[in-house]
Chain A
């Protein structure tokens, strides 16, 4: 399945957002996720199914002013 993850195209066989995170080796409780511009809470990632061409954002804390 073709997915846009943080702006880059990936071919990943993930049915849910939580599967995607595992397959792409994203770990830790400091990640925030959104699918197609909508926040997906940590506890909802198991139930959030993905489809072809979905756009996923995975953000984490960074230095900022």
Chain B
């Protein structure tokens, strides 16, 4: 059982809602993934409320938790205002906080992220910060009041998989009691298994599912991969060795002359 800001969650997979071929495909992917949390954005409404309304009704029909995000925000002011508007719309204190710092990598502006997190926590928000794998930034976010951290494992949409497992391992070791969710960069179920084997609590995905040939089948594959990685971590994984170690006992071995 995963606990996020006091909410008990069964699935360790969180799904983004962008880039699906159709709303029906998105709904089926959500169903097959068994996710209990989807993340949703806010954008300027250009058609009198009709386009947002259609999407809103579809998302609400899924009857699962919504994690609004501040995707695309490049400043603290923009992210904070978007978070406030998201709370107005979705009636939740949860916010996936993104403050973009680099156009090419969409790497978080970690300084702005900490500043925005501090403001939002003071207003009662429960912040899920999209951050890098930097331990010092993680410390600052926790000091700001975040109870969950969402480090990247590779740039958003890159499908590159965990580029720095050492940093992710260090993050897990330094913050054993903090809920850690890998967000961004996962491309394959095996990537998700790998980060779960490091002891992460959950994975947030979007493009790898939405862009698959069969998004619903891929969502199910990710759910299984994440569950396997979590089960393996809890079971205690063997550490790699440089030398061979015989698995069969030597004692009692026959000697032929």
Chain A interface (Cβ < 8 Å from any Cβ of B): 6-7, 24-28, 30-34, 37-39, 41-42, 57-65
Question: What's the nearest-Cβ distance from chain B to residue A38, in Å?
Answer: 8
Q: A28-B53, A30-B89, A39-B84 are in contact. Are A62 and B48 (CB under 8 A)?
A: no
* Set of chain B residues within 8 Å of A63, measured between Cβ atoms: 17-20, 26, 40-41, 55
Q: A30-B89, A34-B81 are in contact. Are A60 and B49 (CB under 8 A)?
A: yes
| B40/A62 in contact, CB under 8 A | yes
Q: Hey, what's the 0/1 contact readout for B138-172 against A, CB within 8 Å counting as 1? A: 00000000000000000011000000000000000
| A6/B45 in contact, CB under 8 A | yes
* Set of chain A residues within 8 Å of B89, measured between Cβ atoms: 30-32, 59-61
Residue in A6, A7, A57, A60 with the greatest tally of chain B CB atoms within 10 Å? A60
Question: What's the nearest-Cβ distance from chain A to residue B222, in Å?
Answer: 14
| B56/A30 in contact, CB under 8 A | yes
Interface size class of B (residues with CB under 8 A): 35 or more
* Docked CA distance A28–B52 (Å): 9
| B48/A61 in contact, CB under 8 A | no
Please report which residues of chain B, range 43-67, place their CB below 8 angstroms from some CB of chain A when the two chains form the complex: 43-46, 48-53, 55-56, 59
* Set of chain B residues within 8 Å of A6, measured between Cβ atoms: 44-46
Instruction: Count A-B pairs with CB separation below 8 Å.
Output: 115
Q: Hey, what's the 0/1 contact readout for B73-105 against A, CB within 8 Å counting as 1? A: 000010001101110111000000000000000
* Docked CA distance A18–B184 (Å): 39
* Set of chain A residues within 8 Å of B50, measured between Cβ atoms: 27-28
24 contacts across the A-B interface (CB closer than 8 A): A6-B46, A7-B44, A28-B56, A30-B56, A31-B45, A32-B42, A32-B85, A34-B81, A37-B81, A39-B84, A41-B88, A58-B44, A59-B44, A60-B42, A60-B45, A60-B53, A61-B40, A61-B42, A61-B59, A62-B40, A62-B43, A65-B16, A65-B71, A65-B157
Shortest Cβ distance from A25 into B: residue: B48
* Docked CA distance A62–B47 (Å): 13
* Set of chain A residues within 8 Å of B44, measured between Cβ atoms: 6-7, 57-59
| B19/A65 in contact, CB under 8 A | yes
Question: What's the nearest-Cβ distance from chain B to residue A42, in Å?
Answer: 7
Q: Does B33 contact A (CB under 8 A)?
A: no
Question: What's the nearest-Cβ distance from chain A to residue B203, in Å?
Answer: 13
| B20/A39 in contact, CB under 8 A | no
* Set of chain B residues within 8 Å of A64, measured between Cβ atoms: 16-18, 39-42, 69, 71
Q: Does B193 contact A (CB under 8 A)?
A: no
Q: Does B206 contact A (CB under 8 A)?
A: yes
* Set of chain B residues within 8 Å of A41, measured between Cβ atoms: 88
Question: What's the nearest-Cβ distance from chain A to residue B20, in Å?
Answer: 7
| A30/B53 in contact, CB under 8 A | yes
